[in-house]
Amino acid sequence: MATTENKTYRKLAIGGLCILICHFLLIAVYNFSDLSEKSSVLSRAAHHYVQPLFFQNFKLFAPDPPKSYREIYFRIEDNNGNKSNWINPGKKDLEIHSKFRFTHHAKLRAAYDYISRNMEYLHEQNLKGKNDVLEQTINRYFLLQARKYYPHTSFNAIETAFITYTPILKDDKIEIEKQATLFSKKQLH
């Protein structure tokens, strides 16, 4: 005759096994079903179970590392025709973000990466002058940065450029190829 303690362990084991079976069933249904308008109740339940808790985009196992690294620069030309030094507006944010990951500098760094990627894209695809929305976003970013760095200076032009650093394997050594590209000169007046 089984004691009450053995019955409790048996109930816990059966309950745990049921939970485990349900878990693997929902995972299997999620992986092998298509979530469409006519999907079953089970596939919708599996989607709601897996998506917030167990979803994996596999970037951990197969990352897509960037093929190059970009830095963006700008300089202003004041009303007298004097040009400032080239300034990298994201350098300070990157340094702060590297030290303290959980600050607003991560969003600033993401904006910097977005701008640099799109500058390179427009240049590579020869789309400068053809994508007004993207170019306006880029120009607005640099105008805000110029006003941040030179708040009391009136200027009539902003020059923008980007430098691409690409790792290249030569003779079993990695070398960095550096390519500077003048992106645009925007007249403000």
Answer left, alpha or beta for residue 172, where phi above 0 means left and psi between -120 and 50 means alpha: left
Sign of CA dihedral 132, 134, 136, 138: negative
Half-sphere exposure of 43 (CA within 13 A, CB side): 10
* pTM of the predicted protein model: 0.57
Residue 21 is predicted with a pLDDT of: 94
Q: Which residues contact 94 (CB under 8 A, 6 or more apart)?
A: 105, 109, 112
The position carrying tokens 């816990």 is 12
Burial of 168 (0-12, 13-18, 19+ CB in 10 A): exposed
Residue 28 is predicted with a pLDDT of: 86
Residue 150 is predicted with a pLDDT of: 87
Q: How confident is the model at residue 63 (pLDDT cuts 50, 70, 90)?
A: low
Sign of CA dihedral 11, 13, 15, 17: negative
d(CA 46, CA 109): 36
SS3 assignment for the chain: CCCHHHHHHHHHHHHHHHHHHHHHHHHHHHHHCCCCCCCCHHHHHHHHHHHHHCCCCCCCCCCCCCCCEEEEEEEEEECCCCECCCECCCHHHHHHHHHCCCCCHHHHHHHHHHHHHHHHHHHHCCCCCCCHHHHHHHHHHHHHHHHHHCCCCCEEEEEEEEEEEEEEEECCEEEEEEEEEEEEEEECC
Taking residues 61-84, report their average pLDDT: 78
d(CA 113, CA 90): 9
pLDDT tens digit sequence for 2-58: 677 888 889 999 999 999 999 998 888 888 876 555 567 888 788 888 876 777 665
pLDDT tens digit sequence for 116-145: 888 888 777 877 667 677 778 888 888 888
Asked if residue 153 has pLDDT above 70, the reply is: yes
- Type of residue at 132: D
